[in-house]
Structure 1
Amino acid sequence: MATTTVQIQRRSVQEPWGFRLQGGSDYRMALCIKKVEPGSPSQGHLTPGDIILGIGGRTSQGLTHAQAQNMIRGSGNALLLSLQRGGENFDHIKPKGPIKFSPWKHQQQH
């Protein structure tokens, strides 16, 4: 999987970066990008599933979700992220065909 560094710029600290962070050491999973808002400063730079290896030139290994959020919030108007592209993003997987078990159907039969 490819690693890359991206720098994202925004006009002011009041403007949101436009991405949703997922994971952290407190969740026992890597920090990664969950969602990118269309039209945001992050669009075109980040992709859902990107794993965050570093924030502002510092490693993100061992950071809790809140620690990573605070580093991102404290970055001013320029955010430097080291990323591993091609992380696991399973949002596109949806069941195909009929659902084989539904608790509501089961309750109605009794």
Structure 2
Amino acid sequence: MEKNGSGFSTVTQRGRLIYVEARLQGGAPWGFTLKGGLEHGEALIISKVEEGGKAGLLQHPLQPGDQVVNINEVELSGFRQEAISLVKGSYKTLRLTVCR
């Protein structure tokens, strides 16, 4: 687990799936955009990672197409609005687990 000014991340492989746990620090903006969600009949994924943003500066950066599984240790139901509320409610630290 390596640290930098924006946070740190770890990678775990479970079977054929790779899980990235990212801890972003310092407050919003976090540097990524979400799309999809159950309300659209799609998986909740990261659609964009801002160049130079916190999500892109991690040792294991978040990537477009990563499926969001967990935010701040809350298992997601898959609805985008729920995820946005959890992200917006993160004051200093945002913990994300994604699956790729």
TM-score by length of 2: 0.73
Higher-strand-fraction structure: 2
What CA RMSD, in Å, does the superposition of the two structures yield over aligned residues? Answer: 1.3
Q: CA deviation at 1:75?
A: 1.2
Structure 1: gaps (5+ residues): 86-110
- State how far apart, in whole Å, the 2-side matches of 1:19 and 1:8 are: 11
Q: Is the 8 A contact 2:37 2:79 kept in 1?
A: yes
The AA in structure 2 aligned to 1:71 is L
Structure number with bigger Rg: 1
- State how far apart, in whole Å, the 2-side matches of 1:41 and 1:21 are: 15
Q: Counterpart of 1:46 in 2: which secondary structure?
A: coil
After superposition, the C-alpha distances for 1:62-106 in whole angstroms (9 at most, x for unaligned) are 242111101011011211011102xxxxxxxxxxxxxxxxxxxxx
Runs of 4 or more off by more than 3 Å in structure 1?
A: none
- State how far apart, in whole Å, the 2-side matches of 1:63 and 1:73 are: 16
Q: Counterpart of 2:55 in 1: which secondary structure?
A: coil
- 5 Å-filtered alignment, 1:24-103, equals 24-44=37-57, 45-60=61-76, 62-85=77-100
Q: Counterpart of 2:81 in 1: which secondary structure?
A: helix
TM-score by length of 1: 0.67
Which residue matches 1:23?
36
Q: CA deviation at 1:24?
A: 1.1
- State how far apart, in whole Å, the 2-side matches of 1:42 and 1:4 are: 12
The AA in structure 2 aligned to 1:81 is L
Structure 2: gaps (5+ residues): 1-16
- State how far apart, in whole Å, the 2-side matches of 1:38 and 1:71 are: 23
- State how far apart, in whole Å, the 2-side matches of 1:71 and 1:40 are: 19
Q: CA deviation at 1:58?
A: 0.9
Which residue matches 1:88?
none
